[in-house]
Amino acid sequence: MLKIMNSAHSKMTAWGLTKIKIADTAIVLDIGCGGGQTLRTLSNVVKHGEIYGVDYSKKAVATSSKKNIKDVRTGKIIVKQASVSSMPFSENFFDVITAVQTHYFWPDLKNDIVEVNRILKSGGNFLLVSELYKINYHMKEYKTPETLRELLLKNGFSNVNVFQSKSDLCLVGIK
C-alpha cells in the first residue's frame, strides 16, 4: 500500500510543489511521509540542505528509510516515528513543511496546525496537499478550502494561498 501511494500521489505532490520556492540549502520536513516518495522528491530539490520525515506508523518509517537509503546513510534524510501532534523538533526549525494526503487523518487538526506552526520558521512555508474527495470523505470539520484557510490564519499563519484543481487542493500557509 505504501509503495502504491508513492506512485499514486506523485503527480499531485509535484503540482503542489510548484506553488512554493524551496532553496537548495533549506531544512524541510514531510509530515506523514508514508512510503517516502516525497522525501526523495525533496532531496532532488534540496541539494545541500536537510530533509526530515515523520510518520506515526513504524512500517512507514521503515519503508521511507529503505526508499531513501543512500540519503539516510549520509544523514541528509532523517526519518522519525512521531505523531504530528507532538513532533520532536525545536521551535522555528524548518524552512518548509509539507503534508500530502495526510491532514484528514490527524487526530486534532487545530492543535496539530499549532504544532506545525511552532516548528516552522518565521516566513517559512507550510504546504498542505490533498485530494478533495478524501477531505470530503474523512473530515467532519474543515471540509472546505475556506474553512481550512481560516483555521491556518487563526493559528499562527500570516497569509494563506489556496490553489485548486479539478480533483486536488493545495494550501500554502506562510508563517
Ligand X SMILES: C[S@@+](CC[C@H](N)C(=O)[O-])C[C@H]1O[C@@H](n2cnc3c(N)ncnc32)[C@H](O)[C@@H]1O
User: Interface residues with ligand X (CB under 6 A)?
Assistant: 5-6, 9, 31-35, 38, 54-57, 60, 83-84, 100-102, 105-107
175/133 Cα distance (integer angstroms): 27
| Smallest gap from residue 156 Cβ to ligand X (A) | 19
| Smallest gap from residue 140 Cβ to ligand X (A) | 16
Nearest of 2, 7, 42 to residue 127 by alpha carbon:
42
| Smallest gap from residue 8 Cβ to ligand X (A) | 7
Is 35 in contact with 3 (CB distance < 8 Å)? yes
| Smallest gap from residue 60 Cβ to ligand X (A) | 4
Q: Which is nearer to ligand X, 25 or 79 (CB)?
A: 79
Q: Which is nearer to ligand X, 12 or 25 (CB)?
A: 12
Amino acid at 39: L
Q: Is the dihedral of CA 162, 109, 107, 97 positive or negative?
A: positive
**β partners of residue 80:** 54
Q: Which is nearer to ligand X, 25 or 85 (CB)?
A: 85
CA separation (Å) from 73 to 45, 48, 65, 96, 105? Answer: 18, 15, 9, 22, 30
Q: Which is nearer to ligand X, 11 or 158 (CB)?
A: 11
Q: Which is nearer to ligand X, 95 or 168 (CB)?
A: 168
| Smallest gap from residue 29 Cβ to ligand X (A) | 11
Cell of 158: 500570516
8/111 Cα distance (integer angstroms): 29
Backbone angles phi, psi at 61, to 5 degrees: -60, -45
